Structure formats: C-alpha cells, structure tokens
Amino acid sequence: MENIKVVATNRKARHEYFILETYEAGIELRGSEIKSIRAGQISLSEAYIKIDGQEAWLVDAHIAPYEQANLYNHDPLRPRRLLLHRDEIRKLWDTVRQKGVTVIPLRVYLKNGRGKVEIATAKGKKLYDKRAEIARKDVEREMQREVHNRE
C-alpha cells in the first residue's frame, strides 16, 4: 500500500492550462530541503519545468529555509533536478517542442517518505476557455443547490 501525503498543489494550473498527460518524478533534494518539504514549507505558484534534452529541472519552486539547519541551509529558489527515466525525458522534450505545449508542476507530495512531484504536459487556455469553464462550474453548482433544496 502506498502512503501519500500531499504537501503542495499548484492551484492555478488546472485553471490556466488544459492538462494533456501527467508524470511522477522524484526530486533531487538536499537534507534541509526535504525537512522543509515535510514541514509543508514549499510553494509552486511561480514554478515551472525546464527540459534541456538530457535532464529535467524544477525551476523557481520556493522551498523555505529550514530553521534548524542555520549554517548548512539551502538556497530557497535553486533549480532542482527531476529524476525521470531517459525515455520519459525524451518524450517530454519532443512534446515541448510543439507550439503552445509546456510542462508544469501540479503537486508535490511525499510517497513512502520520498519527495515526489507530479508534472504534466499542458496547453495554455485562452480567456474564452476560462470563461466557459467558470460558467460550466456555476451551472453545476446551481444544479447541486436545486437538488439539495428539494431533499
């Protein structure tokens, strides 16, 4: 049985992008970074994934400095290498070269004590797509209220 604890989610991702395909990647971390992640001190709001053909990097994810590490602390915004299979990196690299497709982090979680990040290939939504999504959710919410009021 897998033990998963979600630490951080990129809440704007599903609003800003159409999610095409998701992957699970490990993150290469330093000791004070994993301790901060376990404490929930991570933000994905500005983060993105950079792929250079050979490696994948998590860039601009803010992991707060760990208080007890004082002298041996980490840089909060340093790029962190993602641990993926070579075939997955090659597939992501081929996908990213298409027009309008990018790779974004969706969430960071702990799986059996190890830090993992769920990444996705995504295509940006236009403003009218976002409006249509909001309108659809409003209609669903109204229908739920009607069903709930009748009970």
Q: Domain of 91: which CATH number?
A: 2.40.280.10
In-domain check, residue 76: yes
Instruction: Name the residue range of residue 93's domain.
Output: 4-125
Is 135 part of any domain? no
Tell me whether residue 140 is in a domain.
no
pLDDT, residue 130, reads 84
Structural domain includes residue 114: yes
pLDDT value at residue 112 = 87
Closest C-alpha among 109, 105, 141, 98 to residue 14: 105
Task: Give me the pLDDT at residue 86, please.
Answer: 92
Kind and range of the H or E element at 149?
A: helix 127-150
In a domain, 8, yes or no: yes
In a domain, 118, yes or no: yes
The pLDDT of residue 23: 92
Sign of CA dihedral 25, 37, 104, 54: negative
- Tell me, what's the pLDDT at 1? 56
Residue 142: inside a domain: no
65 within a domain of the structure (yes/no): yes
Q: Is the CB of residue 122 less than 8 Å from the CB of residue 20?
A: yes
Distance in angstroms (rounded) separating the CA atoms of residues 91 and 99: 15
How many domains does the chain fold into?
1
The two three-digit tokens of residue 104, written as one number: 């974004």
Q: Backbone phi, then psi, for 14, in 5-degree steps?
A: -75, -20
Mean pLDDT by 10 residues, the chain (151 residues): 81 87 89 84 88 88 80 79 91 86 91 90 85 89 85 72
Q: What value does the CA radius of gyration of the chain take, rounded to a whole number of Å?
A: 18
Question: How confident is the model at residue 83, as a pLDDT?
Answer: 92
Check the CA dihedral 75-76-81-83 and report its sign. Answer: positive
